[in-house]
Amino acid sequence: MQIVFLNRLSRMSGADQEVYAQLWIGEEEGIWRIGWRDFSGNLETDEHIWYEGGSWNEMLCVYRHELAVKMGDGYRPLIDGAFHEEETLAGRNREQLKLQYYSEHHGNQAVYEELCAWRRGKASSERKAPYILASNRLLRMLSAYLPRTEEELLQIPGVGEGKAAQHGSDWLGITAGIPREHSYPLGWVHEAVEEEGFSSWLYKQKEIKYKKQLERLRLRRILLQGIENGLGMEQLQAAGGISRREVLEAVEELEKEGYSVEKLIENELKEVSAEEQSRIWTAYELMGDTFLKPALYKAYGEDFSPAEGLDLYYERLRLIRIRFRRTREPQVMGEAVSY
């Protein structure tokens, strides 16, 4: 096996004891391997194989995720640039991340829960997803920095003039009356944050990011293999451990990336009459394909309300929309394609 990358890492263990590890990437006849060796003194004590397979992308994703775990635990590499990506944080971005880090460790839990309750009520009354109104990260920062005025509110990352105008009075109604020991502006946070703890937190954020990337990569492989083998929605759902809606969303992404999902569409629509499929197709031509609801009622009628619910029919709409969009893409370049 040819070693193509090797790095040494170390961290402090106990009072003054430094422990070492070695991280390597090797390749042999198209098979990639990642290994991690722990050392105690000059003796090798343990070795773990993180990855063995033929996919460069998956190997790199595993490497980044597992390395982020180790660096979150305090290991630091001898060679910089260990993630093989742009790692430099711009000054403003770094300051915003410090504000987020501080808020996660010094938030007022009671205020945070009150803000979450506000978000649930607002989302329900406005029929919106809660995350559209405010992220958990933003609510954490509000609970930690407790703004009392709109001027202070606008210093919180993620709060622009639009959000302040929409929800600022609600937020200030919760935060303004809470006693606080700090002041504004928030430049003091930079000195209050301990650098080593902040660095470990940054690596934990990378760990979360790379884990999601790895899960998406593995799910894509499962779905592509399943579609090629003729699996249906229920079988793909079981293989991927996700909901039918998540299968559909992933299938739509695969189509956008240029992969063929036609086998699945044919399999799922084989019991749907040509006449019903034609009505849906015509609905997209008349109503557009951005929103499903107008196409649903155009295809099935304004009073359509089946006893089994609408989920099955929305699935059909999404599957046929994949075909519809596929045939429309060449027209952007001036080519006429008919269905």
pLDDT in tens, 98-115: 999 999 999 999 999 999
How many helices and strands in the chain, by DSSP H and E? 15, 5
Q: Which of 178, 118, 119 is nearest to 148 (CA)?
A: 178
Compute the distance between CA of residue 166 and CA of residue 34 in angstroms, rounded to an integer. 50
Compute the distance between CA of residue 98 and CA of residue 104 in angstroms, rounded to an integer. 10
- Which stretches within 241-273 are classed as H helix? 244-256, 262-269
Compute the distance between CA of residue 231 and CA of residue 263 in angstroms, rounded to an integer. 9
How confident is the model over 154-172, as pLDDT tens digits? Answer: 999 999 999 999 999 999 9
Question: In the predicted model, what is the mean pLDDT of residues 253-272?
Answer: 94
Q: Which of 265, 282, 246 is nearest to 296 (CA)?
A: 282
pLDDT for the residue 334: 35
CB-based contact 34:59 (threshold 8 Å): yes
Compute the distance between CA of residue 116 and CA of residue 171 in angstroms, rounded to an integer. 11
- Model pTM score: 0.64
Distance of CA 234 to the CA centre of its chain: 24
Compute the distance between CA of residue 300 and CA of residue 281 in angstroms, rounded to an integer. 12
Using a 10 angstrom Cβ sphere, with 0-12 exposed, 13-18 middle and 19 or more buried, the burial of residue 10 is middle
CB-based contact 222:240 (threshold 8 Å): yes
**DSSP E strand boundaries for the chain:** 2-13, 17-28, 31-40, 43-53, 76-77
pLDDT for the residue 55: 87
Compute the distance between CA of residue 151 and CA of residue 117 in angstroms, rounded to an integer. 24
Compute the distance between CA of residue 168 and CA of residue 172 in angstroms, rounded to an integer. 6
Residue whose structure tokens are 């006449």: 275
pLDDT for the residue 330: 52
Q: Which two tokens stand for residue 8?
A: 């040494």
Residue 333 pLDDT exceeds 50: no
pLDDT for the residue 329: 66
Split at pLDDT 50, 70, 90, the class of 1 is: confident
Q: How much of the chain, in percent, has pLDDT values that exceed 70?
A: 91
Q: Is 78 helix (H, G, I), strand (E, B) or coil?
A: coil
How confident is the model over 203-240, as pLDDT tens digits? Answer: 889 899 899 989 988 899 999 999 999 999 999 999 99
Angle separating helix axes 274-287 and 311-328, nearest 10 degrees: 70
Residue whose structure tokens are 């990855």: 51
Q: Which residues contact 178 (CB under 8 A, 6 or more apart)?
A: 108, 111, 146
Residue 331 pLDDT exceeds 80: no
Residue whose structure tokens are 């299938």: 251
Residue 339 pLDDT exceeds 50: no
pLDDT for the residue 335: 37
